[in-house]
Each structure stands twice: as C-alpha cells, then as structure tokens.
Structure 1
Amino acid sequence: MANENNNPNPNKIKINPWVLYCAVALIFLFISFATGGTAFEGPAKISLPKFDALLQSGQVDKVIIYNKTEGEVYLTKAALEKKENKDVSKDVLDRANPGPHYSFDIGNDELFQKKLDDAIKLRKIRDYKFEEKDNWSGLFINLLPIIVIIILWVLIMRRMSAGAGGGGGQIFNIGKSKARLFDEKTDIKTTFKDVAGLEGAKEEIQEIVEFLKNPEKYTSLGGKIPKGALLVGPPGTGKTLLAKAVAGEAKVPFFSLSGSDFVEMFVGVGASRVRDLFKQAKEKSPAIIFIDEIDAVGRARGKNNFSGSNDERENTLNQLLTEMDGFGTNSHVIVLAATNRADVLDKALMRAGRFDRQIFVDLPDIRERKEIFEVHLGPLKKVEHLDTDFLAKQTPGFSGADIANVCNEAALIAARKNKSAVDKQDFLDAVDRIVGGLEKKNKIITPEEKKAIAIHEAGHATVSWMLEHAAPLVKVTIVPRGQSLGAAWYLPEERLIVRPDQMLDEMCATMGGRAAEKVTFNTISTGALSDLEKVTKQARAMVTIYGLNEKLGNVTYYDSSGQNEYNFSKPYSEETAIVIDKEISDLIESQYQRAIDILELHKDKLNQLADILIEKEVIFKDDLEQIFGRRPFDKNLQEEVNP
C-alpha cells in the first residue's frame, strides 16, 4: 500500500520553541557575565565638576578617555565602600562591579590632560590613557534586546501561520498551493495490481498514464492528450485508490490535494492557490494534478440564492476553469478529480476540454467482490480453503471499503474468540455486525414483547417465502442488534433493471411484519417504523421517479442535475400532488392487504415459526424448509425438476 506518512520532509530537524527561548536567555546571561553586568546599563553619567570632586578626594583609580570627548572613571576599592558610591559598587547580579563606574563628557582635551598630569604628580590618580572607541560595538549591544524581540516575533508569526494553514508556514505565503508532490523519489508502492476489480476504470486510467509516458504514440496520428478525467461513483468504491495507483505507476510528478485545501478564511486565497498549483505543475510538466472531493470547490455557480456577488468559492472555481482551459496554454498537465456528487458540479467544469472523460466507478459486482476479498484476505491468518465465492455472494451491494471493513471485523471477532485463524463463521458474524449493528443480548425484553417481535420477524420470513420475486431468506433473529429489536437477512438478486411485479413483491414482504401483528394480535405497534420508511420510499420512487404508475403515466419528476434541491417550488401542480399522495397510499395499502391475505392462509405455520424463533432466537433457511417445504420459486428446485 501507499506510504501514509504525512510528513513531506521526514529528515527535517524540528526545533522545540522552548529551546529557542532558553538559548536567548543564555545569550543575555553570557553577555551580562562577560561585561560585568554593564552591557545593558552602562556606567552612571556624571558632570565634570562631580568628576573634579572625586579626583581631588583621591577616589579615582584610573581614567580612560575615548575619542578625546568621553571619559570613563574607575574608582578605588576604598571609594566603592563609601555611601555616596553605593549605587555603582554592585552590578545587576549583585556582584562587585569592576568598572567603569562613571562616565562624563570632557571639554578641552589639552586642559583636561594637564589636570590629570597634575593629579598624578599629587598621587590623586594612579593612571590615565587615551583610546579610540568603536561606536558600532556599543550600538550593537544596546540594540541586541530589540533584535532578539524581533526574531522571537518572526518565529511566533511563522508558527501561527503554519497552524492556520498558510502555505510554506509563513503568513505571507498563505496563497501558496498546499498540494503534496509525489514523484519517482517518493516511496509510493500502490500499483494497479493492488486495485482489484474496476476493470473498465483501470483501463482508462492506465491509458492516461500511458499518455504521459509515451505521448508520441498518440500525437503522431494527430490526436491530443486529454486534459482531465473525472472519477465519479459512490463512496468507498476506490476512486482515491485509483489515484494512488496512478501516483505509484506514473513516472511523472503527481500533485495531490483535496478540494477543501483551496478554501481559506482570507479573501482571494483559493484563486491564488489554484494559480500557484498550476504554475508548479507547468514547471514540472509532464505532470498530473489530483483533486479529491472536487465538489467542495466545483459546485455549480449561482444556485445558492443567499450567496453574495463576491463569493469566494465561485472566484476559486473561476480560476480553476481558466487554468484548466483558458486563454493560456496548459500542455502536458492532466487533471484527475474524484467526487461522489457529480450532479452538483458546474457544467462549465464538466465540459469537454476540461474534463474530457468521466470515469464511473460503480459498486463491484459478485466477480469483482471476489477479487477484492482476495486482496484484503492476503494479510489475514485464515483457515485453508476459505470459500471466497461464498463471501462474495453474502455481501451484495458492498463497496470495496465495506469489504475491507468486513475482513478487519472478522479478524477482530476471531481474536476475541481466541481463534488461531479466521474462519467462515467469523466473516458471517462480521457481515451481521456491519449491517445490523452490535448484538445486545443483555437488553431486557418482556415475554409479551418477545412474542410480538417473533411474530413480526416470522411475518417477514413467511411472506417473502411465498412470493416469487422476494429476496431469498438467509436467517431471522430476534436478538436485539443496533437500534433494531429483530432482523431478517436476505440475499437479494443483483438486478440491472427492476420490473413493477418485483418491486411490489419486495414491498409486500416488507409489510409482512406489520401484517403478522394484525393477523395474530388484531393490533399493530411502532415496531414497523423502518419497514414503513422503506416501503414509502419504494412507492414514491415507483410513482414519481420510474413512471411505473398507470394513473400518472410515463412521467418522472426526478432531476439528475440536482437543481431542484435549491428550488422552493415543486415541479408539479397541487392537483398532481394530491394524485401522487393517493397513489402512494394505495400502493402501500394494497401490498399490506396482500400480506395479510397470505398470512391468513398460512396462520398456523406463522405461529409455528414464531414459536421456534422464540425458542432458538435465530433460525435459518433450513428451519423454514422444514415448516413450509422448499420454495416453489427456488432456482435449484426448478433445475432438479427440469434437468
């Protein structure tokens, strides 16, 4: 699999900010020790008469005259013990101050020198000397605290901007692209061999990689390399995995980022990041740009009535449209994008010349599910001769991500049971866990409630057993699982088209639970909520989407573009709405009555099945065969009758 390390520079040294703060404090202490604590304060300033008084009283040890303008005074040890010199006898760290203790400005240097010569003759002073002083060193020492404060401020701003998502970690680079670059030097090991199923999608994606590896093969005939490909499909079907395989297979720079990476609180940042992204890609062309969840930035413009005229997201989208196919050239840069909401994307983004190809990544069929299982079963310690065909049949409608979750849950369940290998039952338990939720065997249920749940679930099983197009039953349980008090597992056929009689049989089987309560107890309960929700959706789809209602005729109110969700008005009149509501109600009530008729005919077997269910809590297909006999619609039975 691909390297999931999010650190683009694993060898980069990270410095703790507290280390920097301690280093600054140590620098201050070092300067203070080295200069006797006077680096930041300096000697006390005195007047020339004050110096003359110190000189005449014999308190001056020596004097250093800098640039013939400024003098620094060093006092004797006896003078430092006097009360009037107490303030200069100690430094800031309360140590003995070695000097200079005072400084003053001199007037005429020749007269001042004569004064010092007379003081030496009178032994009022030990020595004096003239020196040239470099003002830059003193200026640097005086400005050092300000310099350190500026450095600390810059470091803090860098850390703040990095935390806020600024490109490059600096507040001034917030408009830079946040795309991660993968190339031949990057450890990306995902290849097309790691992508099971998705044969059609892989073929088109592989061709895009071949475009960049060997462009002359296609351009020699006058063809042009596609500018973009959009991966569309339900969540978990492998769109991002295909992009990882492209990053691992293509020997060209691969820029990867999410649609939300363009979004920022600052105005104009999104468009700036788009420009910077394509600028980097053009510099490294041929290259591939992958934008995951592009609907975050590519949603159709002008549909939200509450957005302002200067919408930041629309500005970002406009810049993306221009970069993909605008006035400038954009050669040898292919844009891959993925979304599970292609219906909300802007039409200008979907047109040829920007996304030339739309690759639909659908849910895997039974053959592809087997291949996906074989990939995810590789790392597991499983029993020998595990039937992957059986596992593929038991997971209809599962995506690649769901199958990976099933394999992981099966391994966890086997470990919980202290098994040395994962077996078939662990996978069945994992499917139940994912579909129905966690078992709640300790939930307190009264005998009356348990009887009602058993009758409800037995009603589902009985009606589905008697209907031709209802899904074949796998098992029924009254053990609470997730939010449900009981459940029935079916193995539906994978149909590409569905006819009205098939949909009606499924609706009738769904209403079997409430119908069983009515037949047995002559009353109904709230336990059929999920059934009613499912049946209402099916009936509404038959009437308003698929045009399967005779009264409304061949009319659909479905909008594949998704524009209706922004409208406050319905696409039909009030009279038609009344007809739709009546037809939906009639459909549901007719199948409810049909289920009641079936259960009235098999009431004894219904109660018998419910009693077994109360006793065992879980029953399987074999238990129903013992009560009802084999299904007359069973394909295996028909093959035996008509060899």
Structure 2
Amino acid sequence: MAKENNSNSPKKPRFNAWWIYGTIALLILGFQFFSSSSFSNTKKTNTSEVQEYLRNGDIEKILIITNTRQAKVFLTNEALQKSVHKDVAEKPLLPSTGAVPQYVLDYGDLQNFEDEIKQIKAENNLDTTVDFDTESDLIGSFLVSLLPFIIIIGIWIYLMRRMSGGGAGGAGGQIFNIGKSKAKLFDEKTDTRTSFKDVAGLEGAKEEIEEIVEFLKNPDKYTSLGGKIPKGALLVGPPGTGKTLLAKAVAGEAKVPFFSLSGSDFVEMFVGVGASRVRDLFKQAKDKSPAIIFIDEIDAIGRARGKNNFTGSNDERENTLNQLLTEMDGFGTNTNVIVLAATNRADVLDKALMRAGRFDRQIYVDLPDIRERKEIFEVHLRPIKTSETLDLDFLAKQTPGFSGADIANVCNEAALIAARKEKKAVSKQDFLDAVDRIVGGLEKKNKIITQEEKKTIAFHEAGHATVSWMLEHAAPLVKVTIVPRGQSLGAAWYLPEERLIVRPDQMLDEMCATMGGRAAEKVIFNKISTGALSDLEKVTKQARAMVTIYGLNEELGNITYYDSSGQNEYGFSKPYSEETAQRIDEEISKIIEKQYKRAIELLEKHKDKLTELAERLLDKEVIFKDDLEKIFGKRPFEKEIEEAKLVSSKPTIKEEPAEEDEVKAADSKE
C-alpha cells in the first residue's frame, strides 16, 4: 500500500548507488590532478633555452625520461637567484616529497639531444649531471589494468538491477520478477479521463456496467438484503463495438483501483510464468480491494482446454487458464474484487470459465442501430470543425452495419478529405465521400482499362442496377460507378433495409440482384467473365446459409448444421453424411442457378433500358437514383420509408447491400 506523504515535511533525497561511484571517480581525478605539475612552479621550455642555460652554468642536473621523451631540468642555487629564473624560483603551492624540476621539455631524437649536451659540457668544462630514468603513471596504469574488471562488474550490476526490476522495463518484464503481473494500475485522477458520457449508445451494456461500478461504491446497499456481489462480467461482441471503451469508462468512473491488461500479457516463453502472473495479479487486487481487474482479449488464455493439443504446445496456456479458474472461484465475494473481460470469440472459451460463479454476467455488445449510430456521430463530431449543421439522422442512415470504430474512422476520414481539398471546414459531402472511401476503397481513375473492358464493366454494373430496380425486396439503389475503386473495377451502392429477421423471398431477391451483373454480360455479349468473382462468393455464402444454417430449403427441411458454440471447428468430421453433403451441394447449386436464370429473364425483358443505362454509365461514369428514374420511371415497389427518400439526393452517397447488419458492396472484381 502506498504511504501517505505529509505535505509539510521536507522531501528527503533518496539514496542512490551512483553517488558512491561518483565520489570514487572524483577522488581519483582529484588525486591525479593534485599530483600533477599543475600546482608546482615547473615551467615548460624548449631545447634551445636549455642549451643556453647549460652554457651559462645554471643547470645542476638534467634527468632524461626515456619512455616519455621528456627531460627535467634542475637549476643550481645560484641560478635560482637570477632574475631570468624568478618565475620558477618561487616555492610550490603544495609541498612535495621529492625534488621538483624547474623546467621540463620535450626532446626529439634522444641521441642528438644527448650529443648536444655532451658537446656543451665539454666546451664549457661543466660538471652538470645527466641521468636517465623511466617514469610510469601508477594511477593510470592501475586504472588501465582494472578497466576490464570495472567494465565487467558494471555490466553485471546493470543487468542485476534490470533483472531485479530497477530497469525501465518495469517489474513484470525482468528476469527475477518475470512471474509478477504486468497489469497497469490506473489512477482515475491522472491516467484516464473517459467516462460513461463518452460512451454513446450501448444502453443495455452501460446499465449493466454502471451497476457493477455501483456494487463497488456502495456494496452495503446490495449485501444488506443478502445478495452477493457478482464476481465477473464478460463483454462479448463484434470488433469495434466499444467493449474496451466501456472498460475505460469503468476505470474513469469507479474511483477504485483498476488493473488493466490483455490476455497475451500472461503468455511468456518460460514455463509456469502465466500461472504465476495470475496469482500475483489477484494478490495485488485483493490487497487494494475494492478493485476491478480488466482482461482484454481473454480468449488468448481462455480457449477450451484439450482442443488441438496433439503436440502438448498448449500445456502452458492451459496451466494459466487453470490458475485463473482457481483464483476466480477461490476468493470470497466479500473481497470486493470484480473481474471484467472482453472478447469477440466467446464461442471458443472454456465452459468452466463461462459458468456462473466466475463470470456471472455475459453482456452482449452488439453493432449499433440507427439511433445509437446518431449518438456515436455526436460524440465523434465534437472535435471536428464542420461548415454547416450536419443532419445526423442522414449520416446515421447512410452507415448501416457500421460499428463505433467504423464511425470514428468515417469522421476522421472526412476531416482528412476536407484538408486534402484545402477546405477550412468539413462539409456533408466530405462525410459521404469518406463513407465511399471506407466501403469501396480509394478511387483509381488512372487505372489502365481497355474500351472493351470498360464496356463490359458498364453493362455488368447496369445489370445489377436494373435487376435490383425491378425486384421488390432488393435493397434500394443509391449510386452506380465504373470508376475503379480499391480492388473492384466498378461498384453499385445500395442502402439496405435494416432487418432483424430475413425471409426467403428477401434473400432470393438479393441473390438475384447480385447475379444481375453476370446475367447482363450473358444477355448482351453472350459471354461471361471473371468480373463476377465477388458476386459469386456472396451468393454462394447466402445459398449455403439458407440450406445449412437457417433451414430454409424444402428439400432438406427444418434442420441446421450450425454450431453456436464453435466446437465443430475443432473436429475433422462433418455433422452430416456424405449423401447429405451431396444433397446440400445440389440444393445450393439449384438456388443459385435459378436466380441466375431469373436475372437473365428480367434483363431480356428490359434489354433496351439496360443498354440505355449502360450507355449513360459509359458517358458519365457515375450515375445516381435520379438517372434510373428517368430511364425506368418510379420503382415498382417503392417503399414509403425515410431511407428511400433520403438517398434520392444527388451527392455521392454511400452503400452497403447486406443482411444481418453487414456492409457489403456489389462490385465487379477482376
């Protein structure tokens, strides 16, 4: 537990081992400095001056240091009385135990220097002593000899400090503390500013989460009636729907210690580390209770045990999971520690982890509906400078199937598009272009396409538009383009009706509209191409879902082979016989071929209008709903719904034909 500091008491400096190292270094440098000639009167001179002093008889002794090519000159007592030597005659500042030379010089060649001295002595009959000696820097030599040991010891001390948790990596990342938890402890005053006000939509999930926070703030309110505080809550939902954001809001609202980490933080290359970190995490949480533990992407360690464990490679993960199960069921409900976890793969989690008593509540965080998307837009538009008051209802209706992360991306992309166009503010058109960019990809107007290919693409997209216009349950068309975008050579944008349930006739109409592209190629050119790849992929998935998942096929009857638990993916056998598999393949093929023929019949009937639409598409490259109304007239099955009214405007509007809240574009791919 952190100690409370008295604000009035002075802060004492903390002891640091580097102080000792610094003191030793200063002592060594000081000794070297004071022992040098810096504090004596020794003067630097040259060879010519020494020769002159020698001729005058001023030199008593010359000491030649052979290993440093330096000579020390000692003057006679008479010479020290001369004015020319008054600078070196004064006593040194610090006393010395040995004789201090008055002059020092660097000589060149030793033989020449020695011969010159001998010659001057002989010429002037001098008795000056010439000695030879070697000098060594004891401290320098000592330090040089110790340098390898100092480096080795320094590296050892550094590594030991790192391994013991003193390094920058933190306690959890070091050798000796590798079993410590890597959870980050959030301080609500400094680390996070997210609150429930920043979480738009998700009303049901927020209500559950707010109640969990209330458990920790006021536990007596619930326990006084005999109730027990839930031990855990599991947030489940598609990616980008706000599971982690909800946890951040809890960290900002709870006013209690909040431990945050991901499932992969328990995983390490060493055996037993995961279980050790789980133990340490719960120990810290219990010491600071009431507290919240948040484990993001818990499926990293929570997968079902005993699956695909042929090599034993999952033993360590299973040990970690076993320890987590023990800890969650081991601490009492009165410890006030609640575990939050998030995953988008709840189907693969171990059943023991999902049971009541561990995760008492499972909170499903779904994709936002139209009302929630409006609220999310309100949050993400706060920092964006817009040029007008945007119709948030309109933007919400243009983005069905978008998650909260997708909407945040739309707002950011709109701001980037406006900046790219040198605008001072973001307009409605920038948002529509941003949705186009995200769903369809970046426009590639400079892509090289032959005239024949362009014509094929135009009729392909016109086929989609024509068939969808003539079918009752097909999604309303918004825009058709033959400008390459992303990986597609052309695209048709739709605004699907958001349905909670889908009927067979609705699915078949969608499939027929999707096959309209290839059908148009067959009707006009009597040839087909590879451009319908994405269309075929989409209808094949839809047909297979009708037969094997939703039980919408009369031949197979009311039966499904869908496993919501996800356990079938671990097995090698199919849940049906080979004979049934053959029947399934036949029924899928029948459904697709029937809708393909239906699309051909529709296009044969309206071939002239199909051609007119394709020609207009070749001319303009982008056409809207208004252009189709001029050719076909009002849509036969026009529905009086707001979506259909709003998409009739001329700006570039967004698409997505889908059921089950998925955003899909019927595009031609090469």
TM-score normalised to the size of structure 2? Answer: 0.76
Match of 1:595 among 591, 594, 599: 599
Match of 1:437 among 441, 446, 455: 441
Q: Distance in 2 between matches of 1:290 and 1:529?
A: 43
Instruction: Please list, as runs of the form range in 1=range in 2, the aligned pairs for 1:37-186 lying within 5 A after superposition.
Output: 86-87=133-134, 89-92=135-138, 146=149, 149-159=152-162, 167-168=171-172, 170-186=174-190
1:202 maps to amino acid: K
Percent identity among equivalent residues?
Answer: 81
Instruction: Please list, as runs of the form range in 1=range in 2, the aligned pairs for 1:233-248 lying within 5 A after superposition.
Output: 233-248=237-252
- Against the structure 1 CA distance between its residues 605 and 164, is the aligned structure 2 distance closer, same or farther, given a 3 Å change threshold? farther
Report the secondary structure of 2:640's partner residue.
helix
1:555 to partner: Cα distance: 1.1
Contact 1:456 1:512 in 2 (8 A): yes
What per-residue deviation string (whole Å, max 9, x for no partner) do you get for residues 219-247 of structure 1?
A: 11111000000000000000010001000
What per-residue deviation string (whole Å, max 9, x for no partner) do you get for residues 579-636 of structure 1?
A: 1111111111000000000000000000000000000000000100111111121123
Q: Distance in 1 between matches of 2:313 and 2:518?
A: 53
- Against the structure 1 CA distance between its residues 208 and 439, is the aligned structure 2 distance closer, same or farther, given a 3 Å change threshold? same
Stretch deviating more after TM superposition (560-569 or 406-415): 560-569
Tell me the equivalent position of 1:331: 335
Match of 1:492 among 496, 500, 509: 496
Report the secondary structure of 1:486's partner residue.
strand
Q: Distance in 2 between matches of 1:538 and 1:196?
A: 32
1:182 to partner: Cα distance: 1.3
What per-residue deviation string (whole Å, max 9, x for no partner) do you get for residues 242-291 of structure 1?
A: 00100000011100011111111111111111111100000000000000
2:386 maps to amino acid: K
1:480 maps to amino acid: P
1:572 maps to amino acid: Y
Contact 2:242 2:404 in 1 (8 A): yes
Are residue 507 (structure 1) and residue 553 (structure 2) matched?
no
1:560 to partner: Cα distance: 1.2
1:525 to partner: Cα distance: 0.2
Report the secondary structure of 1:556's partner residue.
coil
Tell me the equivalent position of 2:108: none
Tell me the equivalent position of 1:483: 487
1:25 to partner: Cα distance: 11
Q: Distance in 2 between matches of 1:637 and 1:217?
A: 47
1:30 maps to amino acid: L
Q: How many residues align?
A: 540
Report the secondary structure of 2:478's partner residue.
strand
Q: Distance in 1 between matches of 2:257 and 2:376?
A: 29
Tell me the equivalent position of 2:656: none
1:184 to partner: Cα distance: 3.7
1:148 to partner: Cα distance: 6.6
1:528 to partner: Cα distance: 0.2
2:136 maps to amino acid: K
Tell me the equivalent position of 2:218: 214
Contact 2:163 2:176 in 1 (8 A): no
Q: Distance in 2 between matches of 1:552 and 1:472?
A: 32
Tell me the equivalent position of 1:107: none
Q: Distance in 2 between matches of 1:333 and 1:325?
A: 12
RMSD: 3.1
- Against the structure 1 CA distance between its residues 310 and 443, is the aligned structure 2 distance closer, same or farther, given a 3 Å change threshold? closer
Q: Distance in 1 between matches of 2:322 and 2:344?
A: 21
1:170 to partner: Cα distance: 3.4
Match of 1:412 among 405, 410, 416: 416
1:329 to partner: Cα distance: 6.6
Are residue 223 (structure 1) and residue 227 (structure 2) matched?
yes
Which ranges in structure 1 are unaligned for 5 or more consecutive residues? 1-12, 14-18, 38-73, 96-137
- Against the structure 1 CA distance between its residues 34 and 149, is the aligned structure 2 distance closer, same or farther, given a 3 Å change threshold? farther
Contact 1:282 1:330 in 2 (8 A): no
Are residue 398 (structure 1) and residue 444 (structure 2) matched?
no
Stretch deviating more after TM superposition (453-462 or 171-180): 171-180
2:32 maps to amino acid: F
Q: Distance in 1 between matches of 2:550 and 2:483?
A: 37
Contact 2:397 2:643 in 1 (8 A): no
1:554 to partner: Cα distance: 1.1
Are residue 30 (structure 1) and residue 63 (structure 2) matched?
no
- Against the structure 1 CA distance between its residues 467 and 277, is the aligned structure 2 distance closer, same or farther, given a 3 Å change threshold? same
1:263 maps to amino acid: V
Q: Distance in 2 between matches of 1:631 and 1:352?
A: 53
Tell me the equivalent position of 1:620: 624
Report the secondary structure of 2:276's partner residue.
helix
Q: Distance in 2 between matches of 1:352 and 1:186?
A: 35
1:155 to partner: Cα distance: 1.2
Contact 1:440 1:481 in 2 (8 A): yes
Report the secondary structure of 1:427's partner residue.
helix
Are residue 423 (structure 1) and residue 427 (structure 2) matched?
yes
Contact 1:263 1:313 in 2 (8 A): yes
Tell me the equivalent position of 1:100: none
Tell me the equivalent position of 2:51: none
Contact 2:370 2:397 in 1 (8 A): yes
1:415 to partner: Cα distance: 1.1
Tell me the equivalent position of 2:573: 569
1:201 maps to amino acid: A
Q: Distance in 1 between matches of 2:162 and 2:522?
A: 68
- Against the structure 1 CA distance between its residues 25 and 413, is the aligned structure 2 distance closer, same or farther, given a 3 Å change threshold? farther
Report the secondary structure of 1:274's partner residue.
helix
1:91 maps to amino acid: D
Q: Distance in 2 between matches of 1:379 and 1:555?
A: 51
What per-residue deviation string (whole Å, max 9, x for no partner) do you get for residues 322-369 of structure 1?
A: 111137677210000000110011100000000000000000000000
Contact 2:548 2:584 in 1 (8 A): yes
Are residue 460 (structure 1) and residue 459 (structure 2) matched?
no
Which ranges in structure 2 are unaligned for 5 or more consecutive residues? 1-12, 37-96, 102-128, 645-670
- Against the structure 1 CA distance between its residues 424 and 323, is the aligned structure 2 distance closer, same or farther, given a 3 Å change threshold? same
Q: Distance in 1 between matches of 2:611 and 2:330?
A: 72
Contact 1:323 1:330 in 2 (8 A): no
Higher relative contact order (CA 8 A, sep 6+): 2
Tell me the equivalent position of 1:9: none
1:183 to partner: Cα distance: 3.0
Contact 1:36 1:91 in 2 (8 A): no
Report the secondary structure of 2:388's partner residue.
coil
What per-residue deviation string (whole Å, max 9, x for no partner) do you get for residues 418-445 of structure 1?
A: 1222111111100000001000001111
1:310 to partner: Cα distance: 7.2
Match of 2:199 among 170, 175, 195: 195
Contact 1:291 1:337 in 2 (8 A): yes
Tell me the equivalent position of 1:550: 554
Are residue 630 (structure 1) and residue 634 (structure 2) matched?
yes
Match of 1:301 among 291, 299, 305: 305
1:295 maps to amino acid: D
Q: Distance in 2 between matches of 1:349 and 1:603?
A: 60
Task: Give structure 1 regions of 4+ aligned residues with deviation exceeding 6 angstroms.
Answer: 22-25, 74-78, 140-145, 160-166, 327-330, 637-640
1:90 to partner: Cα distance: 2.6
Q: Distance in 2 between matches of 1:94 and 1:238?
A: 65
- Against the structure 1 CA distance between its residues 321 and 164, is the aligned structure 2 distance closer, same or farther, given a 3 Å change threshold? farther
Report the secondary structure of 2:637's partner residue.
coil
1:308 to partner: Cα distance: 1.2
Contact 1:157 1:171 in 2 (8 A): no
- Against the structure 1 CA distance between its residues 639 and 408, is the aligned structure 2 distance closer, same or farther, given a 3 Å change threshold? closer
Q: Distance in 2 between matches of 1:509 and 1:235?
A: 29
Stretch deviating more after TM superposition (154-163 or 458-467): 154-163
